[in-house]
Amino acid sequence: MTALITGSMAYDTIMVFHDHFKNHILPDQVHILNVAFLVPELRREFGGCAGNIAYNLKLLEKAPLPMATVGKDFGPYREWLSRLGIDQRYLREIDDAYTAQAYITTDLADNQITAFHPGAMSRAHLNQVPQDSDIRIGIVAPDGRDGMIEHAEQFHRSGIPFIFDPGQGTPMFEGKELLRFIELATWAIFNDYEAKLVQEKTRLTPELISDDVDAVVVTKGAEGSVVYIDREPIKISPAKPTAVTDPTGCGDAYRAGAIYGLLEGYDWETVGAIASLMGAIKVESAGTQNHTFTMEGFRERFYDNFGYHL
């Protein structure tokens, strides 16, 4: 009983500038911008939506199958996945490309300047949803544009229910393309901003989208989330983190929780609660794949937050 996770695998290089960007960027000179920031803090994290979701699903003791295109520099990430025991059979290495990577510089006000190189991710369409694995559920997470379109069609043709999760890839698609994703998908998950962008492009609110899928989830950060089923909202309370350290990757952790709940056959109130707790656990740690827990500890925290046992 497993899940196929289509999406990106990426390196995140995160640098911290010990000042404020605004002190070094002159507003009236942005047309000739030429700045350099000294960044004494630097860390390289394993990331990408498929990698992050797979990591979180493995913590929940499931057997994720990430499917992505990666580059010639993937060796360290591959070793990390091997140590975790995550199946890599659907990771295709592209010899003449680098793995997708983001270079993120953050100042003391948490403003960010990011450069993203898609690299091998742009060839995600070379992968195809397999027909011969015991795949119970899938997700189309942010990836190469053509790959996302083709994988949604392949999930549908294969009869595999899947989550449509456009994430930061939402701006790549026109209204007609988003409507096609919604037509094919079984469920959809957006954050609040993405839901508004989808509505702007399709003229469909989450309530209306719920006419075409089994459930629409809209996450609202620290305010929790809302699940729409047949236009009726189900409010999911946020779980309580012990600390707020780094929100990066919380959305992927939430989606892994949703996949786990769906695989286990829980109702959407419980699916949303599991997902909420996954996001809370992630926010307590820096980076996207550094948090950990035992299932016993997870169930205890679930009871503490929601008042009933899984």
Sign for the CA dihedral angle at 263, 264, 268, 271 comes to negative
Question: Among candidates 72, 73, 75, 80, which has minimal Cα distance to 51?
Answer: 80
The whole-angstrom separation of Cα 77 and Cα 54 is 13
The two three-digit tokens of residue 287, written as one number:
């980076």
Please report how many Cα atoms fall inside a 13 Å half-sphere around the Cα of residue 24, on the Cβ side.
Answer: 12
CA 90 to chain centre: 18
Percent of the chain whose predicted confidence (pLDDT) is above 90: 87
Taking only the tens place, the pLDDT of each residue in 39-71 is 998 999 999 999 999 999 999 999 999 999 999
Question: Among candidates 6, 256, 10, which has minimal Cα distance to 124?
Answer: 6
Superfamily name and number for 2-9+49-99+121-306? Ribokinase (3.40.1190.20)
In this model, does residue 33 exceed pLDDT 90?
no
Please list, in sequence order, all residues whose beta carbon lies within 8 angstroms of the beta carbon of residue 288, skipping any fewer than 6 positions away. Answer: 12, 45, 46, 47, 51, 52, 55, 248, 249, 252, 282
Taking only the tens place, the pLDDT of each residue in 159-196 is 999 999 999 999 999 999 999 999 999 999 999 999 99
The identity of residue 289, as a single letter, is: Q
